[in-house]
Amino acid sequence: METNKILSALCYFSIFFAGFIFPIIVYFVTDNPHVKKDAKSALISHIIPIIAIPLLFAGLFLDIGIFATGSGIPVFFLLMIGLFIIINIVIVIWNVYKGIKVLL
């Protein structure tokens, strides 16, 4: 297999083993524009769940304060946790799909 395809696929698959470090390294080391594009795309998809973390804290603080139901069940926070889990599952599936697509 071509080295460029393997590097591109590893950028997507790095969500399992190297997080956003591997796509950054590949982006700055490689000269191939296609691999750079895939590394940038993989990096963005690895950062999206990190950006969603403040939503969890916002859900917790909003549930404690403004949206307090009084029943003791943090409904808004539980909704944010569910949204966070869905975002992570979609990102993992998308990265696996893109990694396989690059290899084929």
Q: How many domains does the chain have?
A: 1
pLDDT digits (tens, 9 = 90+) for 42-66: 999 888 888 888 877 777 776 665 5
- The answer to whether the CB of 33 falls within 8 A of the CB of 97 is no
Which pTM does this prediction carry? 0.77
Q: What is the pLDDT of residues 62-77, one digit of tens each?
A: 666 555 555 566 677 7
Give the domain range for residue 36: 3-103
